[in-house]
Amino acid sequence: MSAEPYTNDDPATRLALFDFAFEHAPIGIALVDLEGRILRGNAAFAKLVGQQMQTVIGTHFRDFTHPDDLEADLILFRQVLAGRREGYTIEKRYVRPMGEIVHVLIHVAAMRDPEGRIVRFISQIEDITKHKEHERELAERTAQVELALEAIRGGFWHMNIASGSFETSDRLAQFIGGPAAARLDLERYLRKINVDDGAQADLTPLIAGQLDQSVAEYRLDTVQGERWMRCDRRLLRDGEGHPIKIVGMAIDFTDERIRMKALEENARTDVLTGVLNRRGLGEEYASLRSADGYSVLALDLDGFKEVNDSYGHPMGDVVLCETANRIRSSVRDEDLVARVGGDEFVVVVAGGATTGKAAAERILAAVRRPIEASGTAASVRTSVGGVWTGARRNIADLMSEADKLLYDAKAAGKDVVKFDCPARQW
């Protein structure tokens, strides 16, 4: 004789299953009478209200509901009693005996007898205190970001790498086009960038995953005219490390740039590299003494633009600083080293033409070595134009002559020295 199939139609079995689920549920469960008094609750519910269950039985839910939340709960409770709804969901606060606040999410449903009359309510209660704390923290951070954004000129943009879609924030769009401006896509944003600065806005290394962060500086056409922008771009990757999105923050730093330029013009040293600037070079040259004459060397970096385009301005700054250090290491302490332009340097070497030519060759060899930073190696070269004079002459004239020889060196294939002086001085 085969066994009878299992059935839970037996009332005792159903009641036992209900009791087990009720008592062991991970969330609070309570049975409430038609007046709102607690008839039964499980351990999780007792923990939520912070009381022993025997103490809670017979109390009204108003006794542990925050006063500010009670009226909304009672209105919904009465609507169920009046047959206007079957149940409701509400967020509210419990107040424990010691005054501790617990945020809860309550789902209330009416329980009916066979004739359809409401006989009691069953409530399921979830503790959402941590969730509410996270919400509050997020709201505070959002407010702080909004305040910070109001204090700056510019805004955000983001690009989805898979779809190629690009969009500015409302704030950045309005900074560019005025209060009624719509958000810009990539094509319209690029049209606002000065054509001479277009390479700085290139996102290719980020899209390819070669960089995780870069900073670009470019001029942007805005409702206030052309402004200098500093844009911090960051790459976001998925769990497997694949590039998925680029986010950028573009900030107007025109005023800062003007101040920096003014400081550079008034100062004697270059802010970035620490060597002399053009003004400092002129003043130091006027006091430099040499019975054997002076060599003036002009040089710039071959391949520097590619470094900026591929790795960004931070790496370009590293290359400039390291180049300045290598030049200083290639000459004596009394010789003069100056940065007179972006990647343009001038060196004044006291002594005869042979001394100047030897210094130029040392500089050429020093710059050839790769420059490493943050796991990236950049390779640049230099070309040098040099001129020697036995007597002190105007430094601007000597630099001009050295510049012409620099162009000759570049025309000769780069990474070479072109040096000119009277034959009898060799």
Residues with catalytic roles? 343
Whole-number Å distance between alpha carbons of 93 and 84: 25
Q: Provide φ and ψ at 128, rounded to 5°.
A: -115, 25
Give all strands of the β-sheet with 417-420 in edge-to-edge order: 336-339, 344-350, 294-302, 381-389, 417-420
Whole-number Å distance between alpha carbons of 369 and 374: 17
Q: Report the half-sphere exposure of 41 (CA within 13 A, side-chain side).
A: 29
According to DSSP, the β-strands at 417-420 and 381-389 are: parallel
Helix residue ranges per DSSP H, 299-419: 304-311, 313-330, 353-368, 395-411
Q: Provide φ and ψ at 58, rounded to 5°.
A: 90, -10
What is the DSSP track for 172-228?
A: HHHHHH-TTPPPP-HHHHHHTB-GGGGGGG--HHHHTTS-SEEEEEEEEEETTEEEE
8 A C-beta contact, residue 417 and residue 357: yes
8 A C-beta contact, residue 130 and residue 34: no
Among the listed residues 136, 140, 81, 69, the one whose alpha carbon sits nearest the alpha carbon of residue 108: 81
Query: Taken in order 372, 373, 378, 383, is the CA torsion positive or negative?
Result: negative
8 A C-beta contact, residue 53 and residue 41: yes
Give all strands of the β-sheet with 118-127 in edge-to-edge order: 38-41, 28-32, 118-127, 101-112, 87-95
List, in sequence order, every residue forming a beta bridge with 298; answer none if it has no partner.
346, 385
Q: Report the half-sphere exposure of 114 (CA within 13 A, side-chain side).
A: 0
Among the listed residues 87, 98, 107, the one whose alpha carbon sits nearest the alpha carbon of residue 49: 98
